[in-house]
């Protein structure tokens, strides 16, 4: 067994830090879009589907009054979803200074000029930091434990090295309340490319970490990311008393939850409900293909709940 607290063997090398910085700079540089720009995006339907999946997940697993830790919270696009779930406390952390700044502005109520809304009903703490490097149990000692730890569309950034993947899980486990070019492919809106070194070295290497690819998604992402071999992620999470209780990719997710009238209605309200030809959503075939890349999952911390 490795020592997750780091006895020196998992010290980060400089390139890992440089890549984390690159990811941060990429997201920091993305400015807020107007409503019109957003609607004109070539991946607007994919964005709406992803929003729907996040909304349903949050509704499925959040109870009124829950304390929520949102790792890699971005610009706070999910604040409204947490508000609707009537959470009691929210801590959002993101590595991108620009995104956390936008998140603060949104939380304070003066960002969404096109969507004026009342102040959020829960207190929040918004922090700029690297969730996969920092000891969050120390940073958040006064805020823990949390009932929910959410990490949306960002867990793969932790998988650049074993140390970071372990730090991510150690952070989650420590803060959650118990109970609670070688290869390229894509389509018109995305491409994934593995480095040359990947095919030679990584396929034969025994390490499941650091399998880097470049992900490009039109109007959204263009930066290095890492493959997460899911069965190993699940096994690693088990080591931290985090049990996999839910896993579905977006296609399965849609087919399962579009059987329920309230979620069909939610998708209609979010503007992602289609006419039912290829799939139940408004996504183009290329967007629908991208949706297949994403996996929604939930981990539960083992143990007896200490509240009813």
Q: Which is nearer to ligand SAM, 95 or 172 (CB)?
A: 95
Gap between the Cα atoms of 177 and 162, Å rounded: 24
Q: Which residue is nearest to ligand SAM (CB)?
A: 74
DSSP 226-279: E---HHHHHHHHHHTTEEEEEEEEHHHHHHHHTTSHHHHHHHHHTT-B--SSSS
Q: Distance between CA 165 and CA 116 in Å, rounded? A: 39
Number of neighbours of residue 271 by Cβ within 10 angstroms: 14
Cβ-based nearer residue to ligand SAM, 130 or 286 = 130
Q: How far is the CB of 288 from ligand SAM (least distance, A)?
A: 19
Q: Closer CB to ligand SAM, residue 181 or residue 222?
A: 222
Q: Which residues bind ligand SAM (CB under 6 A)?
A: 20, 23-24, 27, 72-74, 77-78, 93-96, 99, 130-132, 152-154, 157
CA gap 157, 212 in Å, rounded: 10
12 in Cβ contact with 83 (< 8 Å): no
State the Cα–Cα distance between residues 190 and 16, nearest whole angstrom: 24
**Least CB distance to ligand SAM at residue 73 (A):** 5
Nearest to 226 by CA among 127, 149, 132, 291: 132
Closer to ligand SAM by CB, 46 or 67: give it.
Answer: 46
CB of 249 to ligand SAM, least distance (A): 16
**Minimal distance in Å, beta carbon 33 to ligand SAM?**
13
In the bound state with ligand SAM, the residue whose beta carbon lies nearer, of 221 and 247, is 221
By beta-carbon proximity to ligand SAM, the closer residue of 128 and 180 is 128
**Shortest Cβ 100–ligand SAM spacing (Å):** 9
> Which one-letter DSSP state was computed for residue 195?
-
Q: How far is the CB of 268 from ligand SAM (least distance, A)?
A: 21
């Amino acid at each position: 067994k490795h020592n997750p607290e780091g006895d020196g063997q998992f010290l980060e090398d400089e390139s890992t830090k440089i890549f984390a910085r690159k990811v941060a700079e990429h997201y920091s540089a993305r400015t807020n879009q107007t409503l019109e720009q957003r609607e004109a995006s070539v991946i607007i339907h994919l964005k709406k589907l992803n929003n729907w999946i996040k909304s349903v997940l949050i509704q499925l697993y959040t109870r009124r009054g829950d304390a929520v830790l949102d790792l890699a919270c971005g610009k706070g696009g999910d604040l409204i979803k947490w508000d609707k779930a009537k959470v009691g406390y929210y801590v959002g952390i993101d590595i991108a200074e620009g995104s956390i700044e936008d998140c603060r502005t949104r939380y304070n109520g003066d960002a969404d000029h096109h969507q004026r809304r009342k102040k959020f009903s829960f207190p929040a703490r918004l922090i700029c930091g690297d969730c996969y490097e920092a000891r969050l149990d120390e940073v958040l000692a006064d805020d823990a434990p949390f009932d929910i730890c959410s990490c949306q569309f960002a867990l793969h950034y932790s998988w650049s090295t074993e140390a970071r993947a372990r730090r991510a899980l150690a952070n989650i486990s420590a803060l959650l309340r118990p109970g609670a070019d070688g290869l390229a492919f894509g389509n018109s809106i995305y491409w994934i490319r593995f480095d040359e070194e990947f095919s030679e070295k990584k396929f034969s290497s025994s390490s499941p970490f650091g399998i880097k690819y470049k992900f490009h998604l039109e109007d959204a992402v263009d930066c290095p990311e890492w493959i997460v071999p899911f069965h190993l992620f699940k096994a690693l999470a088990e080591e931290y008393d985090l049990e996999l209780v839910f896993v579905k990719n977006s296609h399965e997710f849609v087919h399962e939850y579009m059987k329920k009238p309230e979620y069909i209605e939610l998708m209609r309200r979010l503007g992602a409900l289609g006419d039912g030809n290829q799939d139940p959503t408004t996504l183009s075939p290329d967007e629908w293909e991208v949706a297949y890349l994403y996996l929604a999952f939930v981990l539960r911390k083992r143990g007896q709940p200490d509240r009813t």
